[in-house]
C-alpha cells in the first residue's frame, strides 16, 4: 500500500480510511514501462482515498477476477503483437472457452496499453484484452487508452488525459467520503511525496564481507565469473523480494537455465563482419555452451544481462556520496508488502556490497529515468532553480520539454544526476526510482545440428547521434564487442529462450526476408536444412537479403552463395534462390521489397506449394513494406482484390505460415 505524506487529519481521515474502496491495478511489463505506469496509478489512487492493490499479471490468479469490483490493467505489446512473458499464463486463462459471457458481470475495468506505432500490430495486446474483458461481461469505466512511443511526448501524451478521465469516471461511481476533496489533476506531483517502499540497513564491512559470495558446485566455468554472477543474483532477489515482485525467472523456458542459474558459456570467437571503413560495426560471436546437454532450436534466442562500465558505476556512487564498499540489506518499508513466492533461504542470503547492488541491478548508464524520477528529485533539490525545473518536468505542462530533454536524448540516470548537482537522493529512493538493468536478447545465428555445443550471434554495435549531436553507444553491444577471447578466457552467463520464429517441417518451402542483422535466425534455418538435406529430402528456400554495399556489409556472403550451388537448399535448380538488394550501390535505392516484386512468379509458385514466409529485421518500415509486396503479389497472381490478399496472409499467419520478428 502507498501512503501519502500530506493528508487531512482527525475524524475525516479516520472516516476516509474506513471507507476506502479497493482498486486492483495489474500490470504486464517487458521493459518496466507498464509497471511504472501502474505504480503511478496506484500512487494517485491512494491520494484520492482509494485502496490500491498493485500486482503483476505473473502473480495474480485470473480465477479471482469475478470477485473484483474495479480493475485497472496496464499492458505493453512486444514485438509483433505479443504479450509480455509475465502475461502469457494470465492471457491463456482469459481465453478459456469454458468462460461464459457473464463470467465477469459486475466487474468494471479500464485498460491502458503501451506500444509503438512503428510496429504493424500497434498496441494489439491492449486492444485484444479490452475486447476479451468486454466479451466476458465486464463493463469499461473509460475507453481504453493507447500510449505510443513514437509520439513526441512518448506514451505519457495519451496517459495524462486518459488518467484524468479515469479519475472523473471512477468518482462518479464511487463517492468521495464526506468532508474530503480530491486533489487537482494538475497538482498531483508538486506538493506530495509518498513514503519509500524500501528500507535499507547498513552493516559492518568486516563481518558482512564473509557472507557475500556463495559456493557454486558442478558448473564448468571460472570461479570469478561464477561468484560475481551469484553476488548479482543475490542483490537482484533481495530487491525483488523487498518490492513484492515475482522473481525474474519463475518458469524458465529451457528447464534448468535462466537468470537464477545461467550457463557460463565460453566465448570462442568475436570477429567483425563488416569492412573496417564501414559506418556500422557488425560482429559474429561464437560461444561454447559446454557439455551441459542444453538444446535449442532454429529461431531460438540467447539472452544475457550486460555488464556496466565500472567507471560509470563509480561515478554514480561518488555523485550520491555512497560508499561502494559498504554492505547493505534491503527490505520492504511496510510489513504488509510480502509475496507468496518468497523462499526463506533466498531471503537469508545476507548483506551485499553496495557496489554489487548498483553494478548488477541498477541501470545507471544506459536507461533513461522516467517522470517519477524527476518528481522525487524535486523534493531533494537544495537549489531553488533546480527544484523549480524538476517540478515543472513532473507536471503535464512540462511533459513535452521533459521528453525533449530526457527520452529523445536518451540521458542516463548518471547524466541526469550530474545535471542537477544540488539533489542528494537517499539510498532508499535511489533503489526505488532507478531503472533496473534488463536482459538483452539475440536471435541465435547457428543450427545445433551443424554446431552441436555452440551458439553463434550476429550483433550490430549500437551507435547513434542524438538530436543535440551527442554520440551514444548501446550498453550491451559495446560491452560484448570489446570482449576478446584471443587474449584470455572469456565467460558470459547466458540462457536460452524460445523465439517467435519456428522452423517448419523439412517438407515446407521457405521464403525468408532478412535484411541486415535480420539474417541471423535465417542462417540457423539454412544451416539446419543443409544438414538435413544430406540424409532426407528437404523443400527449397528462397532468401531475400538486403544491405547497403556489396563490398562492405554483405553479411555471410560466402555462406549464402555456397548454399546456391550443387542442388543445395537455395539453389535455383532445386526451386530456391538467393536475391540480394544493395541499397547504396546504384543511384536509385533498392530494398528487399523490390527484389520480392522482381521475383513475383517464383514467390507465387512457392506460396502455391505451401511455403511459409518469415520476415526478420528492423521494425521501422521494412516489415510493413515487405508485407505490402506480398499482398500485391498474391492479389495480382491470384486475380483477387487487395482486401482478399490481406485475408489470405492473415490465414497464413493463423496457421503459423507467416511470421514476423522485428525490433526497433
Would the annotation count 54 as a binding residue?
Answer: no
**The three three-digit cell numbers of residue 655, written as one number:** 496457421
Q: Are the CB atoms for 26 and 56 separated by under 8 Å?
A: yes
Would the annotation count 477 as a binding residue?
Answer: yes
Would the annotation count 133 as a binding residue?
Answer: no
Q: Are the CB atoms for 659 and 500 separated by under 8 Å?
A: yes
Would the annotation count 29 as a binding residue?
Answer: yes
517464383: which residue's cell? 602
Would the annotation count 469 as a binding residue?
Answer: no
Would the annotation count 78 as a binding residue?
Answer: yes
Query: CA 434, CA 244: separation in Å to the nearest integer?
Result: 17
Would the annotation count 603 as a binding residue?
Answer: no
Would the annotation count 190 as a binding residue?
Answer: no
Would the annotation count 475 as a binding residue?
Answer: yes
Would the annotation count 276 as a binding residue?
Answer: no
**The three three-digit cell numbers of residue 300, written as one number:** 531460438
Would the annotation count 149 as a binding residue?
Answer: yes
Collect all residues with Cβ–Cβ distance below 8 Å to 343 and sequence separation of at least 6: none
Would the annotation count 86 as a binding residue?
Answer: no
Residue 222 CA to chain centroid, in angstroms?
30
The total of other beta-carbon atoms located within 10 Å of residue 482's CB is 10
Would the annotation count 76 as a binding residue?
Answer: yes
Would the annotation count 440 as a binding residue?
Answer: yes
Would the annotation count 77 as a binding residue?
Answer: yes
Would the annotation count 441 as a binding residue?
Answer: yes
Collect all residues with Cβ–Cβ distance below 8 Å to 613 and sequence separation of at least 6: 511, 513, 607, 630, 652, 657, 658, 659
Would the annotation count 410 as a binding residue?
Answer: yes
Query: CA 525, CA 534: separation in Å to the nearest integer?
Result: 15
User: In the 8-state DSSP scheme, what is residue 436?
Assistant: B
122 backbone dihedrals φ, ψ, rounded to 5°:
-60, 120
Would the annotation count 3 as a binding residue?
Answer: no
Would the annotation count 590 as a binding residue?
Answer: yes
Give Rg (Cα) of the chain. 27
E strand intervals along 404-502: 440-443, 454-460, 463-465, 471-473, 491-497
Query: CA 638, CA 487: separation in Å to the nearest integer?
Result: 58
Query: CA 528, CA 523: separation in Å to the nearest integer?
Result: 8
Would the annotation count 592 as a binding residue?
Answer: yes
Would the annotation count 33 as a binding residue?
Answer: yes
Would the annotation count 584 as a binding residue?
Answer: yes
Would the annotation count 282 as a binding residue?
Answer: no
- Residues flagged as binding site for FAD: 410, 440-443, 474-477, 663
- Residues flagged as binding site for FMN: 29-34, 76-79, 149
- Residues flagged as binding site: 29-34, 76-79, 149, 410, 440-443, 474-477, 517, 583-584, 589-593, 663
- Residues flagged as binding site for NADP(+): 517, 583-584, 589-593
Amino acid at each position: 500500500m502507498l501512503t501519502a505524506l500530506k493528508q487531512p487529519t482527525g475524524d475525516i481521515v479516520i472516516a476516509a480510511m474506513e471507507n476506502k474502496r479497493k482498486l486492483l491495478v495489474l500490470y504486464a511489463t517487458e521493459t518496466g514501462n507498464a509497471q511504472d505506469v501502474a505504480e503511478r496509478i496506484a500512487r494517485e489512487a491512494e491520494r484520492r482515498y482509494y485502496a490500491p492493490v498493485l500486482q503483476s499479471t505473473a502473480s495474480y490468479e485470473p480465477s479471482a477476477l469475478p470477485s473484483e469490483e474495479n480493475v485497472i490493467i496496464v499492458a505493453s505489446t512486444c514485438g509483433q503483437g505479443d504479450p509480455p512473458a509475465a502475461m502469457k499464463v494470465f492471457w491463456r486463462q482469459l481465453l478459456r472457452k469454458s468462460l461464459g459471457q457473464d463470467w465477469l458481470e459486475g466487474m468494471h475495468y479500464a485498460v491502458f496499453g503501451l506500444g509503438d506505432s512503428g510496429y504493424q500490430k500497434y498496441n494489439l495486446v491492449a486492444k485484444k484484452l479490452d475486447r476479451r474483458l468486454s466479451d466476458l461481461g465486464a463493463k469499461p469505466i473509460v475507453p481504453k487508452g493507447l500510449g505510443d512511443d513514437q509520439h513526441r511526448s512518448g506514451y505519457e501524451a495519451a496517459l495524462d488525459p486518459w488518467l484524468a478521465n479515469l479519475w472523473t469516471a471512477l468518482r462518479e461511481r464511487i463517492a468521495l467520503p464526506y468532508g474530503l476533496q480530491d486533489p487537482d489533476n494538475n497538482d498531483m506531483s508538486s506538493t506530495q511525496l509518498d513514503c519509500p517502499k524500501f528500507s535499507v540497513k547498513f552493516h559492518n564491512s568486516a563481518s558482512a564481507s564473509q557472507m557475500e559470495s556463495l559456493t557454486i558446485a558442478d558448473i564448468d566455468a571460472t570461479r570469478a565469473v561464477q561468484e560475481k554472477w551469484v553476488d548479482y543474483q543475490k542483490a537482484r532477489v533481495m530487491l525483488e523480494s523487498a518490492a513484492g515482485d515475482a522473481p525474474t525467472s519463475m518458469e524458465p523456458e529451457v528447464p534448468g537455465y535462466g537468470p537464477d542459474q545461467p550457463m557460463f558459456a565460453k566465448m570462442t570467437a568475436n570477429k567483425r563482419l563488416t569492412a573496417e571503413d564501414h559506418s556500422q560495426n557488425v560482429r559474429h560471436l561464437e560461444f561454447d555452451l559446454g557439455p551441459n546437454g542444453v538444446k535449442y532450436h532454429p529461431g531460438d534466442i540467447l539472452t544475457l544481462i550486460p555488464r556496466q562500465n565500472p567507471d560509470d558505476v563509480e561515478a554514480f556512487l561518488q555523485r550520491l556520496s555512497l560508499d561502494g564498499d559498504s554492505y547493505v540489506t534491503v527490505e520492504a518499508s511496510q510489513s504488509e508488502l510480502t509475496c507468496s513466492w518468497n523462499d526463506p533461504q533466498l531471503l537469508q542470503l545476507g548483506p551485499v556490497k553496495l557496489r554489487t547492488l548498483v553494478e548488477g541491478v541498477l541501470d545507471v548508464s544506459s536507461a533513461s529515468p522516467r517522470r517519477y524520477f524527476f518528481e522525487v528529485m524535486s523534493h531533494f533539490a537544495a537549489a531553488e532553480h533546480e527544484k523549480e525545473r524538476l517540478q515543472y518536468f513532473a507536471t503535464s505542462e512540462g511533459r513535452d520539454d521533459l521528453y525533449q530533454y530526457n527520452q529523445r536524448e536518451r540521458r542516463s540516470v548518471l547524466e541526469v544526476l550530474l545535471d542537477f548537482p544540488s539533489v542528494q537522493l537517499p539510498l532508499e529512493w535511489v533503489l526505488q526510482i532507478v531503472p533496473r538493468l534488463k536482459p538483452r536478447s539475440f536471435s541465435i545465428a547457428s543450427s545445433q545440428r551443424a554446431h552441436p555445443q555452440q551458439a553463434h550471434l550476429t550483433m550490430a554495435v549500437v551507435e547513434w547521434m542524438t538530436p543535440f549531436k551527442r554520440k551514444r553507444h548501446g550498453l550491451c553491444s559495446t560491452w560484448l564487442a570489446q570482449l576478446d577471447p584471443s587474449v584470455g578466457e572469456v565467460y558470459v552467463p547466458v540462457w536460452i529462450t524460445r523465439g517467435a520464429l519456428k522452423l517448419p517441417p523439412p517438407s515446407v518451402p521457405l521464403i525468408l526476408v532478412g535484411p541486415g542483422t535480420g539474417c541471423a535466425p535465417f542462417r540457423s534455418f539454412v544451416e539446419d536444412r543443409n544438414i538435413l538435406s544430406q540424409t532426407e529430402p528437404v523443400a527449397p528456400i528462397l532468401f531475400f537479403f538486403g544491405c547497403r554495399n556489396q563490398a562492405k556489409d554483405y553479411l555471410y556472403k560466402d555462406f549464402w552463395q555456397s548454399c546456391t550451388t550443387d542442388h543445395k537448399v537455395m539453389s535455383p535448380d532445386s526451386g530456391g534462390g538467393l536475391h540480394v538488394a544493395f541499397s547504396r550501390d546504384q543511384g536509385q535505392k533498392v530494398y528487399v521489397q523490390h527484389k520480392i516484386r522482381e521475383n513475383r512468379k517464383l514467390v507465387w509458385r512457392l506460396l502455391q506449394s505451401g511455403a511459409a514466409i518469415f520476415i526478420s529485421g528492423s521494425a521501422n518500415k521494412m516489415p510493413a513494406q515487405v508485407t505490402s509486396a506480398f499482398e500485391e503479389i498474391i492479389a495480382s497472381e491470384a486475380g483477387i482484390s487487395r482486401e482478399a490478399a490481406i485475408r489470405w496472409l492473415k490465414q497464413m499467419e493463423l496457421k503459423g505460415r507467416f511470421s514476423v520478428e522485428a525490433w526497433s
